[in-house]
């Protein structure tokens, strides 16, 4: 293995101070190639294929009828449903992520306190985290059922509504519930991440604030929040990416309907695929551009810039 | 001081809030159990609880739906992609943890970016790629796709664990006459076992729960994974909700139990890219 040219070259470039001469002689290639190949085949290729498909004429059976230029992009941007889909996607992402972060801050603070049953109650959060999001969404769809949904029953009994509603039947009623469920499934990860962040705050800092006579709220705002910033930012961007891409919540509850009234871009591109693959690809490319912006944002807020000097 | 008087009241309030929240988070799953246990003629009742429970849905759902086949597909996909992830991630994690080489940062960046590119965003490209390759509607396509999108988590967590094991231990074993691979398997891997277990369980759960790629890349009802099978049940003309939730419970319980095992390590794996 060591007489391969690639191996020898990489070995010479490695930093000389490390105390592992044997490993330095091994090139990275045999170790990393399987991972790189898998990523190329299943992540990079589809991304390229998506762009290519958006520039072709492809019928519903999948047959390619040659180049289409930007025709499919024009078709997409002329689609009367698109403005509403884009607006809803933006509102959806901002509202779900915003609420998730706010509620998680409070929940992390709560579960960081000492009280009877802290461990048990924390464990309850695992269910929505571990269970498939699709199934949680289907569970809520059933609980919101107009005839036999337990939430309809509960809201009636509490006098909050005067008759059973078809909560997932129209966009106006469905959207708040979609947001609720998306926040519900995002809270466990976010709360746990912030909890991990809270645990890195040294106790002396709180003691110092206490000695200086700071109130509880002052301590939280001036001491806890700034120290929580790294964990908060990472959770924020991970949530942005997850919520923007979220498919199962909407699919499980309304399938993007009625029409495309509750569809975000990811749901809309799945709906489009049924009758125009290339237009769906154009939607995917637009969607993917937003994802790339978010990834760049992540790299900025994470410590990637500082790693190598 | 006032705090002395206020403290117990505050604790009571905290405890009550926390327990109420915990109940809220479990409620949807408890309602699934209740629904699965409703007798068929009480499914459309709006009473909170049925007059009696009938658990026959848990046996009938296996014969009346494709649940058995769907579960088999999911098991194959989850196990297959977990094995593939380990085979691919272990060498990469080991090498990046032990050696500072040119391109190390570029490689880690590539891995991090794949964690951000989710299958949902790439579904159309995946569909077109595997259509071209003639692999749609097979277990293989789901094994490869699930492995690729969970690779990042496995590499992060394994790399962190291996990096925390002193290299001297391996060197000592090599001086004692063990080969390099032997040292890796007899010294490093056993010490990195918590990391390996976390990576294995996390990948298994993620592949088990995966929905979008199953929906996009498979079409035959008996070749689709569990999540898609359950989704198909609610697409039917008249939905048998007791079957839907009996199947959901079969799908949820194993992963919640597995997740509880690795809960402590998951946050670090999911956010590792940012601090590495």
Q: Which two tokens stand for residue B42?
A: 């009480």
**pLDDT band at residue A92 under the 50/70/90 scheme:** very high
Question: Read out DSSP for A226-275?
Answer: HHHHHHHHHHHHHHHHHHHT--HHHHHHTTT-STTTT--HHHHHHHHHTT
Answer whether residue A24 is part of any domain. Answer: no
pTM: 0.86
Span A251-284, pLDDT tens digits: 999 988 888 899 999 999 999 988 888 899 999 9
Contacts of A284 in chain B (CB under 8 A): 121-125
Helix A277-301 with A71-78: angle, nearest 10 deg: 80
Q: Quickly name the fold that domain B57-274 has.
A: MetI-like fold (1.10.3720)
Q: How is chain B split into domains, by residue range?
A: 57-274
d(CA B163, CA B191): 11
Q: What is the dihedral of CA B58, B62, B66, B70, to 10 degrees?
A: 80
The total number of structural domains in chain A stands at 1
Q: Is residue A58 part of a domain?
A: no
CA distances for A269 relative to A266, A285, B49, B153, B246, angstroms? 5, 10, 40, 27, 31
Question: From B101, which residue of chain A is nearest by alpha-carbon distance?
Answer: A14
Q: In angstroms, what separates the C-alpha of A186 from chain B's closest C-alpha?
A: 12
Residue A25 lies in a domain: no
Question: What pLDDT, in 10s, does the model give residues B68-108?
Answer: 999 999 999 999 999 999 999 999 999 898 888 888 888 98
For residue B206, the model assigns a pLDDT of 92
Task: Give the pLDDT score at B260.
Answer: 84
β-pair partners for A56 = A67
Encode pLDDT of B106-115 as tens digits. Answer: 898 888 888 8
Checking if the pLDDT of B269 tops 80, the result is no
Residue A12 placed within a domain: no
Beta strands in chain A (DSSP E): 56-58, 64-67
Test mutation, B2, B45, B124, chain A, max A CBs within 10 A:
B124
* CATH at residue A112: 1.10.3720.10
Report the range of poorest mean pLDDT among A225-229, B27-31, B221-225.
A225-229
Reported confidence tier of residue A7, pLDDT bands at 50, 70, 90: very low
Q: Is the confidence at residue A11, as pLDDT, over 50?
A: no
| A136 contacts A186 by C-beta, under 8 angstroms | no
With tokens 């695929």, the residue in question is: A273
Residues 143-202 of chain B whose Cβ lies under 8 A from any Cβ of chain A: 144-145, 147-149, 151, 155, 167, 171, 174, 180
Highest averaged pLDDT of the listed ranges A178-182, A210-214, B103-107: A178-182
In a 3-state reduction of DSSP, which class is residue A67? Answer: strand
In a domain, A75, yes or no: no
Distance of CA A187 to the CA centre of its chain: 12
Average pLDDT estimate for A67-85: 89
What are A69's two structure tokens? 């230029």
Query: What are the start-end ranges of the H helices in chain B?
Result: 2-36, 57-64, 67-98, 104-116, 119-132, 139-163, 167-175, 180-183, 189-191, 193-209, 212-217, 226-235, 241-271
Average pLDDT over residues A124-139: 91
Per the prediction, chain A carries an average pLDDT of: 84
Which site among B13, B18, B224, B266 would you substitute to test the A interface, given the most A Cβ atoms closer than 10 Å to its Cβ? B18
Q: Is the ipTM of this complex over 0.90?
A: no
Q: Which domain holds residue A84?
A: 80-307
């Amino acid at each position: 293995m060591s007489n391969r040219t690639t191996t020898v070259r990489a070995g010479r470039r490695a930093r000389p101070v490390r105390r592992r001469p044997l490993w330095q002689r091994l090139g990275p290639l045999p170790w990393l190639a399987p991972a790189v190949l898998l990523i190329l085949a299943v992540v990079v290729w589809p991304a390229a294929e998506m762009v290519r498909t958006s520039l072709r004429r492809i019928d519903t059976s999948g047959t390619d009828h040659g180049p289409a230029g930007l025709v499919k992009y024009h078709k997409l941007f002329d689609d009367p449903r698109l403005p509403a889909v884009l607006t809803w996607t933006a509102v959806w992402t901002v509202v779900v992520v915003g609420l998730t972060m706010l509620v998680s801050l409070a929940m992390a603070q709560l579960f960081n306190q000492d009280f009877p049953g802290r461990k048990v109650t924390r464990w309850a959060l695992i269910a929505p985290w571990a269970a498939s999001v699709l199934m949680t969404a289907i569970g809520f769809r059933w609980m919101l059922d107009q005839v036999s949904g337990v939430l309809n029953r509960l809201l009636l009994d509490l006098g909050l509504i005067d008759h059973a509603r078809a909560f997932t039947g129209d966009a106006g009623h469905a959207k708040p519930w979609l947001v609720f469920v998306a926040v519900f499934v995002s809270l466990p990860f976010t709360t746990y991440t912030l909890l991990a962040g809270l645990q890195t705050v040294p106790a002396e800092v709180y003691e110092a604030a206490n000695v200086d006579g700071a109130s509880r709220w002052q301590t939280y705002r001036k001491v806890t929040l700034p120290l929580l910033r790294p964990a908060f930012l990472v959770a924020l961007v991970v949530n942005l990416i997850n919520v923007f891409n979220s498919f199962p919540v909407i699919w499980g509850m309304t399938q993007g309907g009625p029409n495309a009234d509750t569809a975000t871009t990811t749901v809309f591109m799945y709906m489009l695929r049924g009758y125009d693959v290339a237009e769906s690809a154009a939607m995917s490319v637009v969607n993917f551009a937003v994802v790339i912006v978010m990834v760049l944002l992540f790299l900025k807020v994470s410590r990637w810039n500082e790693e190598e000097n | 001081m006032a705090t002395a008087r206020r403290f117990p009241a505050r604790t009571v309030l905290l405890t009550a809030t926390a327990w109420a929240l915990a109940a809220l988070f479990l409620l949807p799953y408890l309602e699934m159990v209740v629904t699965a246990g409703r007798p068929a003629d009480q499914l459309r009742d709006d009473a909170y609880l049925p007059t009696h429970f009938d658990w026959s849905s848990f046996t009938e759902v296996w014969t009346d739906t494709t649940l058995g086949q769907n579960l088999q597909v999911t098991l194959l996909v989850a196990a297959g992609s977990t094995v593939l992830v380990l085979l691919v991630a272990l060498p990469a994690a080991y090498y990046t943890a032990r050696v500072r080489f040119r391109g190390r940062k570029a490689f880690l960046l590539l891995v991090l970016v794949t964690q951000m590119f989710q299958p949902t965003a790439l579904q159309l490209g995946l569909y077109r790629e595997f259509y071209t390759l003639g692999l749609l509607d097979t277990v293989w396509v789901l094994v490869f796709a699930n492995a690729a999108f969970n690779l990042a988590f496995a590499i992060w967590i394994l790399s962190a664990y291996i990096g925390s094991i002193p290299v001297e231990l391996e060197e000592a074993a090599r001086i004692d006459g063990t080969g390099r691979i032997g040292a890796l398997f007899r010294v490093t891997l056993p010490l990195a076992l918590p990391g390996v277990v976390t990576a294995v369980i996390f990948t298994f759960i993620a592949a088990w729960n995966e929905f979008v790629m199953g929906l996009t890349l498979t079409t035959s009802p008996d070749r689709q994974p569990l999540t898609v099978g359950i989704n198909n049940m609610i697409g039917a003309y008249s939905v048998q909700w007791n079957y839907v939730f009996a199947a959901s419970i079969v799908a949820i319980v194993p992963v919640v139990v597995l997740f509880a095992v690795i809960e402590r390590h998951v946050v670090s794996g999911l956010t590792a890219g940012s601090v590495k």
